Amino acid sequence: MSVKPVYINREISWLDFNARVLQEADDKNVPLLERLRFLGIFSNNLDEFFQVRYATVQRISQSSKTGKRVFAGRSAEALLKEITQKVIVLQTESLNILHTIYQEMEKENIFFIDHNQVLPEQEEFLKDYFLQYVNPALVTIILSQDQSQDLSSNKAFIVVTLDLDSEDESDQKLHALIEIPKEIKRFIVLPKGENGRQYVMMLDDLIRYHFKMIFSFFKYKKIEAHMVKITRDAELDLEEDVSKSYVEKITVSVKDRMISDPVRMVYDNEIPDATLAFVIKKLKIDSTDSLIPGGKYHHRRDYMNFPSLNRPDLLYFTFPPLPIANLSLEGNFLDAISNKDYLLYTPYHTFSYVIKFLREAALDPKVSSIKITIYRLSKLSHVASALINAAKNGKKVLVQIELQARFDEENNINFAEKLEAAGVQLIFGIPGLKVHSKICVIERLENKKTRRYGFVSTGNFNESTAKIYTDYTLFTANQKVLKEVNKVFNFLEVSYQLKTYKHLIVSPHYTGSILSKLIDNEIKNKKEGLPSGISLKLNNVTNYKLVDKLYEASQAGVEIKMIVRGVCCLIPGVKGLSENIRVISVIDKFLEHPRVYMFENAGKKKIYISSADFMTRNIDNRVEVACPIYDKELQQQMIDTFEISWNDNVKARLVNLSFQNKMVECKSGESQRRSQWDTYEYLKNKLNFEDS
């Protein structure tokens, strides 16, 4: 008799998560243009999966020095094959969904045209657009049969094959690669046609339409074009050269990423076998597991930025961000916080409160210092501007900026240089220990005594993502809590000396053990007949020790509610193992990003917001901070918003059961509950109640 697994493989669970994103693209109740954008999110997720997770498994599979060929309970080779098979199914499904969306767009008078469908009245517009914007940016590489050529980076290429018009009638072919320029918008909106028809053309097809112009100096009988996309290993490989600074090492490693080993090639499945073989050889693709057949177009991540076409009827309703009840953006912010804790819940509330806090601190003559951790900043960051402003006003500004924030390394290096030039003191941490905490503390002189103010968050201090990521931020003047926040900065700044904490839960030293103790406490309470229960809202659950501890709690009868957006290695609902655990995932307009831990604690609830997921990297390899919520009113608000999500019967899915990703459906007589919409109404009503 076969033994049933007690964990879901991490990589397979991640693909199941991305399948939930794809469900949104297939949902006819989602506005049409938003469905296109979900397809873009699905594709972008898949790109990053291959750059990071698949690349890691492939590296283990190919390892000969360590002999480590088993990955998460199975051989790495078998896992690679399983991933490839699952991705091919998802890719095929995504192409079918895209085809359906295109058909529905035509019903809305929106038409995609390719290079064979250009109308005479559109030719002049397209030629001008090509000459002005596209042609100057094109990189066209004539492929040599013999010479080695630089074909680096994660690129989408048009593979062009020309049958040359040879005088000796020999069969001569010339191959070229045209890089799709990343800096040019992928979708070209053409002038409207008759009956108000809206035409859209892919940049790829605009390039194809002008092949004669691009290859005008070649004599050819026939020209063919097919697209391929390369994804490369994105793992940073830091040099051990002690003569180089940490910033230099990161900079070099990011550049090296551009020429790292390919981990995937998606190709047009209509490309001739001979052409495909030639391209594979030139791009140095070693494994057939890395080859994924696809359609005519790749880099579908660009659908994330599909133009709105002035069609609000085909987009989500926009929630005007709300103010926090009883907290004005016009008054003295620090004085308000000195009297009471406040909870920001973006994007329902406006992120402007974070900017207000920093700008006020930058100007307030009583403020002497600002300390903050930065993980990901917006390209145009008001957070960075406020910190520079503070430094210019003579404040001591200390910024821990994480240079290894994956795919944001270059942006963070640029900001580090600007901050340092303005007189900001920078600390970078050490390789192997990312700083992922979201904390800020300021010191203010009041009545000849130093008083601290600050905030702790579940999200990055990024005004762009704050519009689409749900996250909690606690503003507080609790001196005991902020003393410990300051200890975290001391840990980062001074020799990484171990600190002790009574209020915060801090990685890498304490998170695993304290979470285990909190779960043990619920087991103890359950056995003693006291109120018990655990509610968790997380992005990912992959740490087997914590999964086992949750299994132990379930077996003791503790009810466990889990809302997990992404990867979940835990299997709920298994008799004798996890029958008291239920896991759902909510995918909707906003990306669910907060980490929340709630413990019943015999009726005296313990509630934390955190930067840490239940992942080994968050527990052992990162600096993370979980902060308790002590204010009873804010505790109730967090309980209420958790329950709103938990009771979602429109956008919630059941996770890791035999019917994976099955939607939670309305029961007979039950009204529809869409948690993100209901959360907005809850906070809006709370605001109106406070104002009445």
Please choose, from the candidates 485, 490, 477, 475, the residue with its C-alpha nearest in 3D space to the C-alpha of residue 451: 477
The Cα angle at residue 33 between residues 28 and 35, in degrees rounded to 5: 45
Check: CB of residue 440 under 8 Å from CB of residue 455.
Answer: yes
List 299, 349, 436, 593, catalytic entry? 436
Is-cis flag, bond preceding 347, omega within 30? yes
User: In terms of DSSP bridges, do strands 396-401 and 367-374 run parallel, antiparallel, or are they unpaired?
Assistant: parallel
**How many angstroms separate the CA atoms of 622 and 617, rounded?**
6
**How many angstroms separate the CA atoms of 326 and 691, rounded?**
8
Where helices occur in 261-379 by DSSP H, the ranges are: 273-283, 333-339, 352-363
Burial of 482 (0-12, 13-18, 19+ CB in 10 A): buried
Query: Cβ contacts of residue 365 below 8 Å, gap of 6+?
Result: none
Burial of 56 (0-12, 13-18, 19+ CB in 10 A): middle
Which H or E run contains 125? helix 123-129
Check: CB of residue 239 under 8 Å from CB of residue 265.
Answer: no
> C-alpha dihedral over 162, 168, 169, 171, to 10 degrees?
-50
**C-alpha to C-alpha distances, 101 to 26, 39, 104, 178, 589, nearest whole angstrom:** 8, 10, 5, 28, 18
Please choose, from the candidates 595, 593, 560, the residue with its C-alpha nearest in 3D space to the C-alpha of residue 574: 560
Residue holding tokens 């840990």? Answer: 491
DSSP states along 432-485 = TBEE---EEEEEEEETTEEEEEEEEESS-S-TTGGGTEEEEEEEE--HHHHHHH
Check: CB of residue 171 under 8 Å from CB of residue 274.
Answer: no
Where helices occur in 73-115 by DSSP H, the ranges are: 76-107
DSSP states along 389-420 = HHHHTT-EEEEEE-TTSTT-HHHHHHHHHHHH
Q: Which residues of 15-25 are buried (b: 16+ CB within 10 A; e: fewer)?
A: bbbbbbbbbbb
The answer to whether 436 is a known catalytic residue is yes
Check: CB of residue 108 under 8 Å from CB of residue 314.
Answer: yes
Residues known to be catalytic: 436
